[in-house]
Structure 1
Amino acid sequence: MTVHVSAPAARRALVALGLAVAITLVVAGCDSRAESTSAPPPPDVGVAPVLVEPVRDWSDATGRIAAVESVELRPRVSGYVQRVAYAEGDEVAKGDLLFVIDPRPYRAALQRAEAELARARADAQLATTRHTRAQQLIDASAISRDDFEARSAGRAEAEAAVRGAQAAVETARLDLAFTEVRAPVAGRAGRAMLTTGNLAQADTSLLTTVVSQDPVHVYFETDERTFLRHQAMTRDGARANGRNAVRVGLADETGHPHAGTVDFLDNQVDPATGTVRARAVLPNPDRRFTPGLFARVQLEGASQREAVLIDDKAVITDQDRKYVYVVGDDNTAQRRDIVPGRVVDGLRVVESGLATGDRVIVNGVQKVFMPGMPVSPQPVAMRGGQPVEAVAGR
């Protein structure tokens, strides 16, 4: 018996058969890929236990570098500048010649004063001789008392004239010496404000400035709490000579690499700002500090406290939040939000969020994609992130 199948029915049968074959192939391919693909091993990460060590708090402030000695050099005598005897910007020693004011008028004045002194001494010698002769004559009653007293007065007047002439010579000698303007302190000399040929007015014209170089001062403002801590240290003798230590960093430096001490606190707190002005002294043998530079200052606190410390590389930023990954007993990475503090000796203080015994991922944090992810912890040192064996073998 012949069965006739219509063309539309045949096409539907063929389509159904094709779909069935395709589904079978897809299922077979998925099964084969699932069988051929295995789960990746947990990533290796460097893990270190948190450090709990005593740290000392430091208070932050901003300040300015200033010279210990700063001099505006002005002439003591008037005259035309004959020579500028230094190179602008160079360091000078105390007593070095910087400017020469035309000395000729003052040299002539000194010679004139010396001549006046010589004449006064001659007059005084003559008056003394006359007084001696008058003494002999009065003893012999050869002159009157009035003549004797006149000669005595003449001798006293001549002696006073000598002293006046001597003072005039000293003044003229000083004026001549002042034509050589010398550095009153050792330091760096600034720009010459008057050059050769210009008129310098005594006590008025600014010639140049000289600022000392080593040591230097840094002035900064501290709040009332910091001021009270400093006073407590001074009373309790917590530091040698009752001086706080300070650490200073410049604008192009990381951290606070320069050490100094506080040597001055103002005698009152500014009631408008609630701050007190302080000053620290810093050595400057390599001339790193220049007066006027901005400085970041940290002032040492009065007491120590136990703090949790971690490597800064372990800290991750999530918008306005900070967190780290800690490894639990099941070797999975768990997120732990923290409140970070300041950096102490290269490690970050954690104010809250971690406790003693927590193991923090220091190396390979970028390998952790989500909390709860399995990891393969490898022990490392918290300082430097090196393997524990390498640190122990140093």
Structure 2
Amino acid sequence: MKFLQIAAIAAALSALTFGCQKKAEKKASYPPTPATLVKAEGKSVRKYIDTLGTISSLHSVNIVPQVSGQIVKINFEQGQFVKEGDVLAEIDPRPYAAAVMQAEGNLRQAEAQLKIDALDVERNRKLAKDNYVDKQTFDSLLAKVEVDKGVVETCKAALETARINLDWCKIKSPISGKVGLYNINSGNVVAAGTSVITTIEQLDRLYVDFVVPSQRLYDVKRFMEANGGKAAVDVSYIEDDLGHRKTVAEVDIILNKIRYESGTAVLRGRLDNKDGLFWPNQPVKVRVNLEEIKGAVLIPNMCIQIGPKEPFVYIAAPYKDGVYVISQRDVGEGQLFDGGMRAVSGVKDGEMVVKSVSSLRLQAGPFVYAATPEGLIMGADSKPILDPAKMREFMSNATAIADELRAKFAKEAAEAAAKKQAPVEALKAAEKAAAGE
């Protein structure tokens, strides 16, 4: 009610000043101040947290040979999409094919030796039973068979290793995805486990990693717990003109500590990318959708003024014929939503709020009329009045109403001042009576 008090005082002073002048002198009249008004909107909205994130591959694989040798063939083009199991490159297989043949020969020798020694055991078994062969000799024959079995198993393992090495001469893709650039060309010699031929990125399924302020982590965690440990986030291009390129990711991972330097928590979500909209290492906008607020009251954020203690707004109460009386009201600020709309407490659904007004002109009285940002008068149908005659009629009527309000406030101020002064005058009269004056 700050403006009402100022207006009342100003009106009272004006009345006193003009009371000392001649009655024939005409009082000054001022029209109400034009103001852009908006209606507070009550609706259900969903809380959210806007932040930034980075896209990463669900699987990113360096293609490294598992055997050494000369690259004899490259079977992919740079930037090509490949499928799991595709042969990407080939190493000269001849040394490894020879190793397989050698291992096969060693195995046959070991199996033949096992067969010979097993026959010796069978030939000597009856003789040992009849004591024609001493027990020590027969036990040695049995032990030799067991040694032969071990040699056979060793040769089998060597053969399997040789076959695996031969198979590794064909370097296959472990995942489906998009290959990068050549790091090694055909003809080069590569070393097992160290030479990176290229890199494959899985693109049909991606991660999005993003941060939220640590003070909001509890809100996110509570929402996820209430929704099966998951939360939906909107992921979109960071460029404003490309914001329509977006998808939804499902978040189910909160990393295990807060980043001390930034005071943020890291979360990870998964998203489908079958349309190829996003790429690894791409920065993105992320909106974490939280619980719904029912019955929230929204006003444009620019309506909120900064007060000495609390933020406040100017409420415009309709008085008569398009003239409003404004008053100051403290509000509590809530979530800022799209379009610059903010949820507030202390304002009711449907109340008119001042969006912009000249504070200097309000010193003539807290009376306004609805106008466009360009200053055109808004009619009762919420459309600008363009007819000059109607504009003059409106302003004449509005000025008369403003004068009426000034007189009303001046009268109320004078009555209040009189009530405040009456006890003082009574006290002075009592003091004079007591003094015998």
Q: TM-score, normalised by structure 2?
A: 0.64
- Give, in whole Å, the separation in 2 of the partners of 1:225 and 1:360: 32
Structure 2 residue matching 1:81: 3-state secondary structure = strand
Identify the match of residue 44 of structure 2 among 36, 41, 54: 54
Could you say which residue in structure 2 is the equivalent of 1:350? 342
How many residue pairs end up in the alignment? 320
Counterpart of 1:257 in structure 2 is: 246
| Higher mean C-alpha deviation, range 138-147 or range 76-85 | 138-147
Alignment of 1:242 with 2:234, yes or no, is no
> 2-side partners of 1:189 and 1:360: how far apart?
58
Letter in 2 for 1:277: V
Instruction: Render the CA deviation track for 1:235-274: whole Å, top value 9, x for unaligned.
Output: xx432x1212211111232278321221210112233332
Corresponding residue of 1:216 = 206
For 1:319, the equivalent position in structure 2 comes to: none
- 8 Å contact 2:251–2:270 — kept in the other structure? yes
Question: How much does 1:163 deviate?
Answer: 0.8
Q: Distance in 1 between matches of 2:166 and 2:217?
A: 51
- For residues 334 and 243 of structure 2, the distance between their equivalents in structure 1, rounded to whole angstroms, comes to 18
Alignment-mate amino acid for residue 274 of structure 1: G
SS at match of 1:131: helix
Q: Does 1:77 align with 2:80?
A: no
User: What is aligned with 1:375?
Assistant: 378
Q: Distance in 1 between matches of 2:100 and 2:379?
A: 94
When residues 336 and 183 of structure 1 are mapped into structure 2, their CA distance, relative to the original with a 3 A threshold, is: farther
Q: Which residue of 1 aligns with 2:34?
A: none
- TM-fit CA distance, 1:114: 0.5
Shift of residue 157, structure 1, vs aligned partner: 1.7
The aligned amino acid for 1:369 is E
Question: Does the aligned pair in 1 maintain the 2:230–2:250 contact within 8 Å?
Answer: yes
| Separation of aligned partners in 2, 1:336 and 1:299 | 37
Contact 1:256-1:296 within 8 A present in 2 as well: no
Distance 1:378 1:245 in 2: 42
Q: Equivalents in 2 of 1:81, 1:349: separation in Å? A: 63
> 1:138-157 maps to which residues of 2 (within 5 A)?
138-157=128-147
Question: Cα offset for 1:282?
Answer: 1.5
1:297 aligns to 2:289 (yes or no): no
Q: CA, structure 1 residues 269+127, in 2 after alignment: closer, same or farther (shift >3 Å)?
A: same
How far apart are the structure 2 equivalents of 1:378 and 1:101? 82
Structure 1 segment 276-295 matched on structure 2, within 5 A:
276-295=265-284
Q: Which runs of 5+ in 2 are unaligned?
A: 1-36, 304-312, 355-369, 384-437
- Aligned-partner SS, 2:259: coil
Please say if residues 176 and 202 of structure 2, whose CA atoms lie closer than 8 Å, have aligned partners that are also in contact.
Answer: yes
Q: Choose 276-285 or 195-204, whichever is displaced more.
A: 276-285
Distance of aligned partners of 1:368 and 1:228 in 2 relative to their CA distance in 1, 3 Å threshold: closer
Match of 1:112 in 2: 102
Query: 1:225 Cα deviation (Å)?
Result: 2.1
> Could you tell me which amino acid in structure 1 is paired with residue 115 of structure 2?
Q
Contact 1:230–1:302 under 8 Å retained in 2: no
Give the partner amino acid of 2:157.
A
| 1:61-72 superposed matches below 5 A | 61-72=51-62
2:65–2:195 Cα contact (<8 Å) kept? yes
Deviation at 1:127, TM superposition (A): 0.7
Give the 5 Å matches for 1:56-205. 56-205=46-195
| Distance change in 2, residues 1:368/1:265 (3 Å) | closer
Cα separation, 2, equivalents of 1:366 and 1:174: 83
Note if contact 1:247-1:256 (Cα within 8 Å) is conserved in structure 2: no
Amino acid at match of 1:290: W
CA distance in 2, matches of 1:244, 1:255: 21
Which SS does the other structure have where 1:75 is aligned?
A: coil
Which whole-Å CA distance do the structure 1 matches of 2:93 and 2:117 have between them? 36
TM-superposed deviation, 1:85: 1.2
Cα drift, residue 212 of structure 1: 1.2
**Closer/same/farther in 2, CA of residues 101 and 334 from structure 1, 3 Å limit:** farther
Q: Deviations over 1:263-303 (max 9, x none)?
A: 21011223333221111111212011100000111112345
TM-score, normalised via structure 1 length = 0.70
One-letter amino acid of the structure 2 residue matched with residue 68 of structure 1: L
Give yes or no for contact 1:98–1:183 (8 Å, CA) kept in 2.
Answer: yes
- Amino acid of the structure 2 residue aligned with 1:374: I
Distance apart, 1:335 and its partner CA: 11
CA displacement, residues 292-336 of structure 1 (integer Å, 9 cap, x when unaligned): 000111112345254345799xx89xxxxxx99x99664579999
What's the RMSD between the two structures over aligned residues?
A: 3.7
2:223–2:291 Cα contact (<8 Å) kept? yes
After superposition, the Cα gap between the structure-2 partners of 1:148 and 1:121, relative to the gap in structure 1 and judged at 3 Å, is same
Corresponding residue SS for 2:258: coil
Deviates more, 1:176-185 or 1:262-271: 262-271
Distance 1:284-1:130 versus aligned 2 partners, 3 A rule = same
| Contact 1:333–1:368 (8 Å) recurs in 2 | no
Aligned pair 1:227/2:220, yes or no?
no
Q: Confirm or deny: 8 A CA contact 1:190 1:209 kept in the other structure.
A: yes
CA deviation after TM superposition for structure 1 residue 193, in Å: 1.1
Q: Which amino acid aligns with 1:133?
A: R
Change (3 A) 1:334 1:193: farther
Residue equivalent to 2:359:
none
Partner of 1:270: 259
2-structure distance, mates of 1:250, 1:178: 41
4+ residue runs over 6 A deviation: 326-329, 332-341
Contiguous gaps of at least 5 residues in structure 1: 1-46, 317-322, 381-394
How many angstroms does 1:200 deviate by?
Answer: 1.1
